[in-house]
Amino acid sequence: MLSLTDTYTLKNGVKIPVVGFGTWQSSDEEAEKSVLWALEAGYRHIDTAAAYKNETGVGRGIKKSGLNREEIFITTKLSNQEHGYEETKQAIQDSLNKLDTDYIDLYIIHWPNPIKYRDNWKEANAESWRAMEEAVEAGKIRAIGVSNFHPHHLEALAETAKIEPTLNQILLNPSDMQTEVVKYNQAHDIVSEAYSPLGTGKIFDVEELKELAAKYNKSIAQLVLRWSLQHGFLPLPKSVHEERVHENADIFDFEIEEEDMKKIDSLKGRAGSAQDPDQASF
């Protein structure tokens, strides 16, 4: 039976816990508190980003836990304003300083085609990646990946990359399974990490999920997180409520039957869908 400390092995050999704790839309203070609760609940994988403006709080929460740095897997991301070689070098250092750590376990390009770089996104990504590769060589980063990338963005990156992306963090939940992106990830040994695995809350109104959650004597959140794991995804539940932080970790003592997995798979569009990264206005 899996647990919070079980891991997937990234293609470069680095091990990443199968569930992460998300901090999107959390203030510095909320991030500090919730990260501490998450670590107390047994999470060992914390996800933040420069754009969330809470890396300092995340770092404080990790320090307060008293756990050794090596026990915790930290992910952060390059902001949409800082693509390019020099900008990325500086952004990595800024994240290290805010997190108050000597290294980042996983560093990710947050968005493939932000509006600031829309005319030259491919070159900007290539230059950012070069800075990230150098940071890997320097021991500042253990693994590098991407977020919200579609196959054509990954193909463009592959033209110049020396190190292959290990992971693609995308919106993934029963309402949008991003089948084409996941298929590409699988074919290239890229882990599909699920942000907004609970559909930013809209998933809780889906009747079929209410019925299935009752059948398994679990909450809808627990059901959907388990569904994510059974697909081989890496979900990143987020909460600023202590009891929910613990509840979302309690997903390892049951298994969803195949027929019910298919029912959940069929809920496309019921709770929103991913944005087109080439059209987003940020």
The residues carrying an active-site annotation are 52
Closest by CA position to 58, among listed 75, 40, 80: 75
Contact status, residue 36 vs residue 64, Cβ threshold 8 Å:
yes
C-alpha 129/C-alpha 132 separation (Å) is 5
Three-class secondary structure assignment of 234-248: EECCCCCCHHHHHHC
Tell me how crowded residue 152 is: count the other CB atoms within 10 A of its CB. Answer: 13
Number of alpha helices (DSSP H) and beta strands (DSSP E) in the chain: 10, 10
* Gap between the Cα atoms of 166 and 163, Å rounded: 9
DSSP H helices in 177-233: 179-187, 207-216, 220-230
Give the Cα separation of 221 and 213 in Å (integer).
9
CB 213 within 8 A of CB 223: yes
Distance CA 193, CA 73 (A): 14
Q: If DSSP codes are grouped into helix, strand and coil, which group holds residue 81?
A: coil
Q: β-strand 21-22 against 7-9: which pairing, if any?
A: unpaired
Is residue 78 helix, strand or coil?
A: strand
Q: What is the H or E stretch that residue 93 is in?
A: helix 85-99
